[in-house]
């Protein structure tokens, strides 16, 4: 609209300079300029190459980020608990994308609440509230990304294990890893003190050939061994009752009656059970048993790699946490597993940037279990002979 004829022009006053370190207020972000505004805040008003690149900051694609925002948008848009009233230091209200980005920054970098709050001129308690609202929303709306496979998915998983490592009817690989806690978290109890004299919590996970988490349990103290944690888990109870891993398969090319039950694989720290195959432990292994152990170890790399990537990808799980809460830490771990699966399900290539090593529990010794079910011993021998007969057909 053109200025009205005869209207007096207002005298323009020069803009006052802002104090050093204080950013000018930014307009409310929209789909077009959200990242530009957030990256300026992240860089504290000074552009940097890392802060300008979305993938470098969040270690995920923009497609994955947008999907996560869509997944939880209902919770963050409700006028409950004041979540729409969080403000940056310049009083600008945080949009949905801002809140998701702040929460992801906490999980991705592992920085303290105070450090992240200082970046945006916000109180550390606001960062904590935003992060927990995000985790709660994931628990409510992303649960479909971490579930036990249906029959069709299980058939694909079995086919991949057999094609890659020659293990028929294999449904997954299991392992544990230690999540460190501050030494002061439990000053009056040694229950969290593990074998390495560190305070830790254990994560047990079953993964598929794509390193997707299929069953996770955490919350148990680091003082418990792998076998004990397994036996206290809901997964163990389901398998023992036949609720999981109860299907059977007749091995092709083997004598009649050579049938193996569905199973997962684990290292020597686990008992040998009809649904849990572990490697041979005796000395001077026969060529057949040595071949089985080789393929068994190669197949277990998927769970070792999944654990290593989990800690590398979500730095909040790597190293001692700030003010850990034994009731909340399992939920942080679960949220990181959910986010990892979302990236896998969306084909996010950033998940493929593997760490240099698969050693996710550096400094912890290998555990051993001598428990062996008689039926499981017989089944392992049948599998051993099957793998041995495959011989040169197995991939190197």
Together in a domain, 163 and 104 = no
- pLDDT tens digits in sequence order for the chain, 396 residues long: 444 334 444 444 444 443 443 334 334 445 447 888 898 888 864 455 666 688 989 999 999 999 999 999 876 665 444 445 799 988 999 999 999 999 999 999 998 889 999 989 999 999 999 999 999 999 999 999 999 999 999 999 999 999 989 999 999 999 999 998 876 545 556 778 888 888 889 999 999 999 999 999 999 998 899 999 999 999 999 999 999 999 999 988 766 568 899 999 999 999 999 999 999 999 899 999 999 999 999 999 999 999 999 999 999 997 666 555 678 889 999 999 999 999 999 999 887 765 656 777 777 878 899 999 999 999 999 999 999 887 645 555
Closest CA to 37 of 29, 45, 47: 29
Together in a domain, 136 and 157 = no
Give me the pLDDT at residue 234, please: 96
Q: Rounded to an integer, what distance in angstroms lies between the CA atom of residue 143 and that of residue 138?
A: 7
Only one residue has tokens 């802002």, namely: 18
Q: Is the pTM of this model over 0.95?
A: no
User: Is the distance from CB of 387 to CB of 394 less than 8 angstroms?
Assistant: yes
- Indicate whether 16 belongs to any domain: no
Give me the CATH number covering residue 77: 1.10.472
Together in a domain, 119 and 152 = no
Range of the domain at 161: 148-392
- Indicate whether 68 belongs to any domain: yes
- Indicate whether 7 belongs to any domain: no
- Indicate whether 121 belongs to any domain: yes
Domain end among 119, 144, 169: 144
- Indicate whether 241 belongs to any domain: yes
Together in a domain, 157 and 103 = no
Together in a domain, 235 and 326 = yes
Give me the pLDDT at residue 354, please: 56
- Indicate whether 27 belongs to any domain: no
Give me the pLDDT at residue 112, please: 87
Together in a domain, 153 and 252 = yes
Domain end among 116, 144, 172: 144
Together in a domain, 264 and 206 = yes
Task: Output the six-digit token pair for 233.
Answer: 């888990």
Only one residue has tokens 């190293």, namely: 319
Together in a domain, 173 and 97 = no
Together in a domain, 274 and 154 = yes
Together in a domain, 342 and 374 = yes
Together in a domain, 48 and 194 = no
Domain count, the chain: 2
Give me the pLDDT at residue 83, please: 46
Domain end among 144, 175, 200: 144
- Indicate whether 240 belongs to any domain: yes
Q: Rounded to an integer, what distance in angstroms lies between the CA atom of residue 56 and that of residue 53?
A: 5
């Amino acid at each position: 609209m053109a200025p009205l004829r005869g209207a007096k022009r207002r005298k323009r006053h020069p803009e006052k300079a802002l104090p050093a370190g204080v950013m000018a207020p930014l307009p409310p972000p929209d789909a077009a300029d959200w990242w530009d505004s957030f990256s300026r805040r992240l860089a504290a008003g000074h552009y940097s190459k890392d802060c300008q690149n979305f993938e470098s900051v969040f270690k995920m694609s923009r497609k994955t980020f947008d999907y996560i925002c869509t997944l939880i948008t209902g919770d963050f848009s409700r006028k409950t608990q004041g979540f729409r009233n969080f403000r940056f230091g310049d009083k600008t209200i945080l949009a949905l994308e801002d809140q998701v980005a702040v929460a992801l920054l906490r999980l991705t970098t592992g920085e303290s609440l105070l450090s992240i709050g200082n970046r945006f001129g916000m109180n550390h308690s606001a960062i904590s509230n935003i992060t927990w609202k995000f985790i709660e929303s994931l628990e409510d709306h992303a649960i479909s990304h971490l579930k036990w496979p249906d029959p069709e998915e299980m058939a694909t998983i079995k086919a991949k294990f057999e094609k890659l490592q020659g293990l028929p009817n294999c449904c997954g690989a299991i392992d544990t890893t230690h999540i460190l806690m501050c030494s002061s978290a439990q000053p009056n109890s040694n229950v969290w003190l593990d074998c390495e004299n560190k305070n830790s919590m254990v994560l047990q996970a079953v993964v598929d050939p794509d390193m997707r988490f299929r069953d996770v349990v955490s919350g148990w103290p680091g003082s418990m061994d792998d076998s004990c944690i397994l036996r206290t888990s809901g997964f163990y109870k389901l398998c023992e009752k036949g609720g999981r891993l109860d299907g059977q398969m007749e091995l092709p090319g083997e004598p009649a009656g050579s049938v193996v039950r569905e199973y997962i694989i684990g290292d020597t720290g686990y008992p040998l059970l009809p649904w849990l195959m572990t490697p041979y432990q005796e000395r001077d292994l026969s060529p057949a048993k040595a071949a089985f152990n080789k393929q068994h170890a190669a197949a277990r790399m998927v769970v070792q790699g999944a654990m290593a990537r989990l800690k590398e990808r979500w730095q909040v799980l790597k190293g001692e946490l700030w003010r850990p809460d034994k009731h909340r830490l399992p939920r942080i771990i679960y949220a990181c597993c959910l986010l990892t699966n979302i990236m896998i399900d969306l084909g996010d290539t950033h998940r493929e940037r593997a760490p240099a090593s698969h050693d996710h529990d550096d400094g912890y010794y290998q555990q051993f279990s001598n428990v062996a079910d008689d039926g499981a011993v017989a089944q392992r021998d049948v599998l051993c002979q099957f793998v041995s007969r495959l011989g040169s057909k197995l991939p190197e």
